[in-house]
Amino acid sequence: MGEAISRWIQILSQAHAVSSQPPAKQGESESRRFGKHGRGIIAFLLQARPRMNLALFDFDGTITHKETFAPFLSYAIPRRRRVLGTALFPPLVIGYRLGLVSGIHIRKRLVAFGFRGLHAENMVHAGRRFSEEVLPMIVRPAALERIRWHKAQGDKVVVVSGALDVYLTPWCKRHGLELLCSSLHAENGVLSGRYQGLQCVKAEKCRRVRELCDPASFPLVYAYGDTIEDLDMLSMAQRKFYRWQEMV
């Protein structure tokens, strides 16, 4: 055992010496520069070094046990708009639950009705409070445990969500996670009632992930989702989980 440990110490010392050498001079061969065993040691250490995987998590219904968009809307907008909205939007909500109205359409309508004309800075403050007061009560403990497992493995963990950045950004920062999500558009500090770009759902999730990193560069991609808006993202992964059941 003592001889084996000594041998490993010798190998690591040689590797450190090789890696700390200056760049090769013009005309100097790599084999001559590193010596007989140097390149083999470097190759061995690179192969032995663990590589991070990529883990992509939807938020609403996956990390949480319920959607967050409607609760945040109710939490953040003025009371008068909430009361008026309860009279105007039931037909759309019923259509959504019956599958007749898409989530993209109803969220677009609700953003226009609920947020237009409000101060963006006030919404940021509301989002931070929502992340502190409401989100902890609806987050799945099992989801946090799975996130901690990925982080302990050294994986790159990214939340990819159609929910809003005003409350997801502080939550993800608190948990040390990267974030791709939907944002509200503002002009001169006032919300316009539109999204900034596309909602981060369906194919847009994939586009944003590829903009952030190259999934093919990771040994393994995990993806977690719970609705049809996550299926495109799940298709990017070798290990995919739909409503916390692994898909074969």
Sequence-distant (≥ 6) Cβ neighbours of residue 240 within 8 angstroms: 222, 223, 224, 225, 234, 246, 247
161 shares a domain with 124? yes
- 227 and 160, same structural domain? yes
* Boundary (domain end) residue, out of 11, 32, 48: 48
Q: What is the tally of structural domains in the chain? A: 2
Q: 92 and 43 in one domain?
A: no
Query: Are 161 and 138 in a shared domain?
Result: yes
Closest CA to 59 of 151, 191, 157, 184: 157
Same domain, 209 and 137: yes
pLDDT at position 134 is: 98
Does 136 lie in the same domain as 198? yes
User: Do residues 225 and 195 touch, judged by C-beta distance below 8 A?
Assistant: no
- Shortest CA distance to 111 belongs to which of 200, 192, 189? 192
H helices of 52-164, in order, are 69-76, 79-88, 90-97, 103-115, 120-133, 135-138, 141-152
pLDDT in tens, the chain (248 residues): 444 434 433 433 443 333 333 334 444 444 444 455 555 554 544 454 458 999 999 999 999 999 999 999 999 999 999 999 888 888 988 998 888 999 999 999 999 999 999 999 999 999 999 999 999 999 999 999 999 999 999 999 999 999 999 999 999 999 999 999 999 999 999 999 999 999 999 999 999 999 999 999 999 999 999 999 999 999 999 999 999 999 98
Which domain, by its residues, includes 205? 54-246
User: Residue 70 sits in a domain of what CATH number?
Assistant: 3.40.50.1000
pLDDT of 169-188, one tens digit each? 999 999 999 999 999 999 99
Q: Are 126 and 162 contained in the same domain?
A: yes
Residues 23 and 126 both lie in one domain = no
Residues 69 and 169 both lie in one domain: yes
Q: Are residues 124 and 30 in the same domain?
A: no
pLDDT of residue 185: 98
The count of other CB atoms within 10 Å of the CB of residue 180 is 21
CA distance 59 to 104: 16
For residues 19 and 125, membership in a common domain is answered with no
